[in-house]
Amino acid sequence: MSNWLTPISETAKSTLNIIKSIGPLLISQSNFASEAYARHLLRLASVEAAKELVNQEIDIYSKAKEQLIQRYIDADQVERIRIKRDLEDIESNVRSLNIAATAMNYLSLEQNSAEKVSDSQETSSLDQKEISPHWLDKFNELSRSRNEDWRANLLSCALAVESRRPGTVSPRALWLLGTLEEPIFKAFATILDLSSFIGSGLMIPDSEVTLLQKPVPNCELGDTVSIGRLVYLLSDIGVLAESLTTQRSFPQGSKFSVKYHSFHYCIECLSNPLTVEGVILTPLGSSLASFYSRNFNPLGAEIFQAWINSLDRNHFLVTKL
């Protein structure tokens, strides 16, 4: 039996998922780009081998583009139409390949982090399912488009995350990524930068009203933008839950972790349950957040610490970690 059927590492599986996302574009390795060869190749060299494969494809498309441009000069009108169509197709393929190459760079970073994961978590992730064909079709459509740099980078992040953990980036989140205008995404990114992990999810906990009304430092949308303004801008795209009806609850006796970057605490509900209100992500918002790298914001730290200080120590044990 062929040795490619033996189990491969988690990172190799993730890289293979990325290779599958660009499979139809592979031309220079046409005799070797079968799944059997890819599995064998990735077992030996993993991400680096896949990067080399993608870079070879980009190089071949670039040379083909140069040849077509030379032919275009001497071509008649009918032939120029065909060449122009071929050039557009090449450019689309190169855009998709570049996004895949960047995704592999992110995968390399994730691989380094994943080496610290516990054995039980590692075993669970090795049983991952494959990326759905529907997701790949939608991703290929988006990656071949003329994307702005920020959107292309996010598509690479989304592909890396989905390749590592299929099902994390929902089809709706992928669609939203392809249609979001940049100011709206910047508003969402700022909300994420201000958010803390409260239990298992991100949110901005209710704090002093004056803090929630303060201008957000380093906000790309302007120097006077508040959290309320950001929430208003995002009200129509389904990434934030309704603030009046949504809250995060922890029963009496429970113990959970809260964190804002390096500020990390354990909270134990001694004699009362705890209800935390604030700006909470929807499942769609959480899916989008899964491939965004959050930045530290001093207002986020200030809000988090103010919320920690507001907890009644008679009912809640707060331990700094």
Mean pLDDT of 244-264: 92
Residues 199 and 238 in one domain: yes
Q: Which two tokens stand for residue 4?
A: 């490619």
Considering only CA atoms, give the Rg of the chain. 24
- pTM for this structure? 0.77
| Rounded-to-integer distance, Cα 106 and Cα 161, Å | 9
Residues 144 and 225 in one domain: no
Residues 60 and 110 in one domain: yes
For 194-232, the pLDDT digits (tens) are 999 999 899 999 877 777 788 999 899 998 999 999 999
pLDDT of 2 reads: 31
Residue range(s) defining the domain that contains residue 145: 3-179
Greatest Cα pair distance, the chain, in angstroms, is 85
Q: Which two tokens stand for residue 41?
A: 């190749």
Residues 139 and 18 in one domain: yes
Whether residue 29 is predicted with pLDDT greater than 60 in this model: the reply is no
Residue after which a domain boundary falls, among 138, 164, 179: 179
For 168-202, the pLDDT digits (tens) are 899 999 999 988 999 999 999 999 999 999 998 99
Q: Which two tokens stand for residue 120?
A: 């039980």
The burial of 236, by beta-carbon neighbours within 10 Å (0-12 exposed, 13-18 middle, 19 or more buried), is given as exposed
Residues 145 and 194 in one domain: no
Residues 56 and 173 in one domain: yes
pLDDT of 123 reads: 37
pLDDT of 155 reads: 92
Residues 59 and 160 in one domain: yes
Whether residue 132 is predicted with pLDDT greater than 60 in this model: the reply is yes
DSSP state of 131: P
| Rounded-to-integer distance, Cα 196 and Cα 264, Å | 10
Total domains in the chain come to 2
Residues 174 and 200 in one domain: no
| Rounded-to-integer distance, Cα 206 and Cα 310, Å | 10
DSSP state of 130: P
Residues 100 and 193 in one domain: no
Say which range, 31-40, 228-237, 295-304, has the weakest mean pLDDT. 31-40
Residues 68 and 203 in one domain: no
Residue after which a domain boundary falls, among 179, 211, 229: 179
Considering the chain, what is the average pLDDT of its residues? 82
Reported as a pLDDT band with limits 50, 70 and 90, residue 109 is: low
pLDDT of 38 reads: 53
Whose tokens are 């054995």? That residue is 119
Residue after which a domain boundary falls, among 138, 161, 179: 179
Whether residue 311 is predicted with pLDDT greater than 90 in this model: the reply is yes
Encode burial over 112-131: b for 16+ CB neighbours within 10 A, e otherwise.
Answer: eebeeeeeeeeeeeeebeeb
Residues 204 and 65 in one domain: no
Say which range, 65-69, 112-116, 159-163, has the weakest mean pLDDT. 112-116
| Rounded-to-integer distance, Cα 248 and Cα 108, Å | 34
Reported as a pLDDT band with limits 50, 70 and 90, residue 287 is: very high
pLDDT of 20 reads: 65
Give the closest residue to 19 by CA, choosing from 100, 125, 127, 96: 100
pLDDT of 43 reads: 47
Q: Which two tokens stand for residue 33?
A: 């780009």
More confident residue, 4 or 202: 202
Residues 157 and 215 in one domain: no
